[in-house]
């Protein structure tokens, strides 16, 4: 049996840097025009700035507001962390065909296909096929899966047209959203049923034998506003690989306002899908995995006197999987003749099975939040919550009993504005669970508004990430038919502890209302210690192959960089959005006494995206997006050279049906040759999609 690295797609299958270490390397000539544009464009606009000293209303100006950083509604320039907003206009103009693809438009974020329909989204790189340091929420409900230590994007059941906006926190958000938000968070906010009256249908056909249908109906019944959404999708995945998708979902969102101060939101969903999984370096070993997922969420909110409010949210997530399969006969795997197996291995020839018929994971979560205004200068939010996670899998737990974890949390944030141009934010999260005990994660920030529509941010964060339930409990063992051990593959260290982060940020947000330009920049330093990875242990007792991978705190890194976004809206019909990120990492993985690997190439040094969109007088909307990513070697992946990709979308409204009726054509990778994503055979070629959307009153 050949030894392979641990594979959760399918079973069986430092020092603090000194000044020199932190210096930026000179960019390659290919990037110089882009860096010049970023440096020159906003500088030419400073002279257009208005009066320097303003009222509170003037200071807020037209800068967008968010609530995902502290839980308080704040202008982006007042938040203690950098935030990127993906609104409906950007989402439509991007031409994205899946939810994960949208985050290529977020500076400092990277997106890649692990398989044809398996996506990884990460902040500042340093990820494998299961990015685990990013929180993702849909209407306040975490969709992080304890069974995978990651997000399974195909199970979310969110149609792009149902999204109102996405608030992406580009930095640790543990003080509000807990351990999973170690390096950032994605907060998807769907449209309220009140905003989507009537029915809508969208049909898509295109490359890779893509076929997609989505249906939506929104109305009101006995005072309850509701939306029912359904979708079905199938495609063939990457060429020459068995990694296609076939799946569908059904979702309900309902809102009810029984009094002037009370409101309820109910969300229910179910999805089922089949996806092909495997290692792109070995196409013959692909297999099918079946997912069944469901969720239920209920939120209550009451408006109190003086602008205060109280909210309570409860949700339940369920995910089931199966991918049990045969690796073949023992004689075929080992190359030993069947007659010699009893003599050499003490076993008769037999079929070796791996995987599980019934992986199960559940999450129950309850959270209370109370927002208060303490006079004109101070606002406070505090909250408390509890979470119960459970995993049941014979394969991942070696036939043992289901494992569970109960975690409790208490958090708060205070916003104090002693002067109109000066704001202090202080937040803290206290978490306690059965895996690592109590963790305290604080954040402090100072926000200064020296000029109208211009803000500077200084922040420091100390955060901790608890191991996921799988990381702390994993025990993958291949066994013979009589129950004896054939191969110990993956274990969890009994001393596994939390990951630690110290982060500093200097940010700037500026807006020039005249030309319609917004600039968001940040410099950051992140120091991560005790990061969880797998170390190799040779000559493990009882293992025929003598090598085992153990989850342990063996990795550390320091990463510094600059990222930002320049958004130009000269009018309601046009928009240009430029995103750029530079990152430099120093770190090491201590996988064994003789295996210390550098993390230097685990982060793309440069990532860039440029979107331009315009709506013409006849209603035709044309948009183009350009992406460029420098070389990277993802953990567990192949060496990926730099690549560029240009996407084009043309959409024309139709004079039939109701609002939202249109026909659109999307071309991805319009120019140049194919490029690779994550694995050697994940070849992204030119793709063409035709979409028809019909709205009915």
User: Rounded CA gap, 75 and 415, in Å?
Assistant: 12
* Residue found under tokens 């947000």: 509
Three-point CA angle 368, 369, 373, nearest 5°: 155
Distances in Å between the alpha carbon of 78 and those of 348, 383, 424, 443, 682?
Answer: 69, 21, 9, 14, 42
User: Rounded CA gap, 552 and 570, in Å?
Assistant: 52
Provide the pLDDT confidence category of residue 647 given band limits of 50, 70 and 90: very high
Whole-number percent of the chain with pLDDT over 70:
90
Per-residue pLDDT, 593: 67
Q: How many CB atoms lie within 10 A of CB 573?
A: 12
Has residue 58 got a pLDDT over 80? Answer: no
Per-residue pLDDT, 597: 85
Provide the pLDDT confidence category of residue 215 given band limits of 50, 70 and 90: very high
Indicate the range of 79-93, 316-330, 635-649 predicted with least confidence.
316-330
428-449 confidence digits (pLDDT tens): 999 999 999 999 999 999 999 9
Specify the 3-state DSSP secondary structure of 635: coil
Provide the pLDDT confidence category of residue 413 given band limits of 50, 70 and 90: very high
User: Rounded CA gap, 687 and 678, in Å?
Assistant: 19
Per-residue pLDDT, 56: 41
Per-residue pLDDT, 452: 87
Q: Which of 194, 200, 199, 196 is nearest to 265 (CA)?
A: 194
What domains appear along the chain, each with residue ranges and CATH number? 32-696 (2.40.170.20)
Per-residue pLDDT, 57: 39
459-508 confidence digits (pLDDT tens): 999 999 999 999 999 999 999 999 988 889 999 999 999 999 999 999 99
User: Rounded CA gap, 274 and 293, in Å?
Assistant: 12
Has residue 40 got a pLDDT over 50? Answer: no
Average pLDDT of 384-405?
Answer: 95
Provide the pLDDT confidence category of residue 314 given band limits of 50, 70 and 90: very high
User: Rounded CA gap, 598 and 555, in Å?
Assistant: 10
Indicate the range of 158-162, 242-246, 332-336, 614-618 predicted with least confidence.
332-336
* Residue found under tokens 């209603």: 619
User: Rounded CA gap, 6 and 352, in Å?
Assistant: 17
519-567 confidence digits (pLDDT tens): 999 999 999 999 999 998 887 876 766 689 999 999 999 999 999 999 9
Average of per-residue pLDDT values in the chain: 90
Per-residue pLDDT, 7: 43
Annotate 213-224 with b (16+ C-beta within 10 A) or e (fewer).
ebbbbbeeeeee
Supply 345's token pair.
């291995």
Provide the pLDDT confidence category of residue 15 given band limits of 50, 70 and 90: very low
Report the largest interatomic distance among the alpha carbons of the chain, rounded to a whole angstrom. Answer: 90
Asked if 242 and 325 count as a contact pair (C-beta separation under 8 A), the reply is no
Provide the pLDDT confidence category of residue 41 given band limits of 50, 70 and 90: very low
Per-residue pLDDT, 392: 96
Has residue 118 got a pLDDT over 60? Answer: yes
Per-residue pLDDT, 62: 65
Q: Which of 460, 451, 565, 468 is nearest to 517 (CA)?
A: 565
User: Rounded CA gap, 691 and 663, in Å?
Assistant: 6
Asked if 448 and 422 count as a contact pair (C-beta separation under 8 A), the reply is yes
Provide the pLDDT confidence category of residue 283 given band limits of 50, 70 and 90: confident
Supply 357's token pair.
């018929």
| Strand pairing category for 83-87 and 675-677 | unpaired
User: Rounded CA gap, 549 and 487, in Å?
Assistant: 11
Contacts of 187 (CB under 8 A, 6+ apart): 68, 137, 166, 167, 168, 169
Provide the pLDDT confidence category of residue 282 given band limits of 50, 70 and 90: confident
Per-residue pLDDT, 14: 39
Distances in Å between the alpha carbon of 343 and those of 189, 214, 336, 479, 480?
Answer: 62, 59, 11, 18, 15
Check: pTM over 0.85? Answer yes or no. Answer: yes
Per-residue pLDDT, 355: 84
Annotate 610-639 with b (16+ C-beta within 10 A) or e (fewer).
bbbbbbeeeeebebbbbbbbbebbbbbbbe
Three-point CA angle 118, 122, 127, nearest 5°: 85
């Amino acid at each position: 049996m050949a030894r392979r690295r641990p594979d959760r797609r399918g079973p069986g299958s430092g020092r603090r840097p000194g000044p020199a270490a932190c210096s930026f390397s000179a960019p390659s000539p290919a990037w110089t025009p882009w860096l010049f544009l970023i440096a020159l464009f906003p500088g030419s606009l400073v002279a257009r700035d208005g009066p320097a000293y303003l009222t509170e209303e003037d200071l807020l100006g037209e800068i967008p507001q968010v609530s995902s950083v502290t839980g308080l509604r704040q202008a982006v320039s007042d938040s203690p962390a950098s935030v990127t907003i993906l609104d409906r206009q950007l989402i439509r103009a991007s031409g994205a065909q899946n939810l994960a693809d949208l985050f290529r438009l977020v500076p400092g974020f990277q997106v890649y296909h692990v398989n044809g329909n398996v996506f990884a989204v990460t902040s500042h790189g340093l990820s494998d096929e299961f990015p685990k340091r990013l929180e993702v929420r849909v209407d306040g409900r975490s969709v992080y899966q304890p069974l995978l230590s990651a997000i399974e994007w195909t199970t979310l059941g969110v149609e792009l047209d149902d999204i109102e906006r996405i608030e992406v926190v580009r930095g640790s958000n543990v003080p509000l959203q807990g351990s999973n938000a170690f390096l950032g968070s994605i907060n998807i906010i769907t449209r309220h049923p009140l905003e989507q009256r009537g029915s809508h249908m969208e049909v898509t056909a295109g490359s890779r034998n893509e076929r997609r249908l989505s249906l939506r109906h929104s109305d009101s019944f006995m005072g309850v506003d509701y939306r029912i959404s359904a979708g079905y999708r199938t495609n063939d995945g990457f060429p020459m690989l068995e990694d296609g998708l076939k799946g569908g979902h059904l979702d309900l969102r309902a809102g009810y306002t029984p009094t002037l101060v009370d409101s309820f939101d109910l969300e229910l969903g179910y999805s089922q899908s089949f996806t092909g999984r495997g290692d792109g370096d070995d196409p013959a070993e692909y297999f099918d995995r079946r997912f069944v997922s469901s969720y239920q969420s209920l939120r209550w909110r009451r408006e109190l006197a003086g602008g205060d409010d109280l909210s309570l949210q409860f949700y339940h997530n369920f995910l089931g999987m199966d991918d049990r399969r045969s690796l073949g006969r023992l004689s075929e795997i080992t190359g030993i003749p069947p007659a010699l197996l009893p003599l050499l291995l003490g076993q008769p020839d037999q079929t070796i099975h791996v995987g599980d018929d019934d992986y199960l994971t559940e999450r129950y979560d309850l959270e209370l939040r109370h927002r208060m205004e303490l006079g004109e200068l101070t606002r406070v939010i505090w909250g408390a919550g509890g979470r119960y996670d459970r995993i049941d899998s014979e394969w991942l737990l070696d036939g043992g009993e289901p494992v569970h974890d109960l975690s409790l949390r208490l958090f708060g944030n205070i916003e104090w504005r002693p002067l109109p141009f000066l704001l202090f934010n202080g937040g803290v999260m206290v978490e306690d669970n059965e895996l690592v005990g109590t963790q305290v994660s604080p954040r402090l920030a100072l926000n200064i508004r020296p000029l109208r529509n211009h803000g500077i941010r200084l922040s420091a964060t100390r955060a901790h990430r608890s191991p996921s339930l799988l990381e702390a409990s994993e025990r993958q063992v291949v066994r013979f038919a009589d129950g004896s051990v054939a191969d110990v593959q993956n274990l969890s260290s009994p001393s596994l502890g939390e990951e630690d982060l110290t982060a500093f940020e200097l940010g700037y947000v500026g807006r020039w209302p005249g030309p319609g330009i917004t600039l968001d920049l940040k410099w950051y330093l992140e120091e991560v210690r005790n990061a969880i990875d797998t170390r190799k242990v040779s000559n493990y007792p009882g293992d025929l192959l003598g090598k085992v991978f153990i989850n342990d705190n063996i990795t550390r890194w320091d990463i510094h960089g600059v990222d930002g976004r320049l958004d130009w809206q000269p009018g309601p019909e046009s928009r240009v959005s430029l995103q750029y990120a530079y990152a430099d990492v120093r770190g090491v993985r201590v996988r064994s006494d003789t295996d210390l690997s550098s993390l230097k190439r685990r982060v793309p040094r440069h990532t860039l995206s440029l979107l331009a969109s315009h709506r013409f007088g006849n209603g035709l909307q044309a948009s183009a997006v350009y992406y460029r990513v420098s070389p990277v070697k993802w953990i567990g992946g192949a060496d990926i050279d730099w690549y560029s990709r240009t996407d084009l979308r043309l959409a024309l409204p139709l004079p039939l049906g109701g609002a939202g009726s249109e026909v659109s054509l999307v071309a991805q990778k319009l120019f140049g040759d194919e490029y690779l994503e994550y694995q050697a055979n994940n070849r992204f070629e030119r793709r063409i999609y035709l979409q028809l959307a019909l709205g009915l009153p």
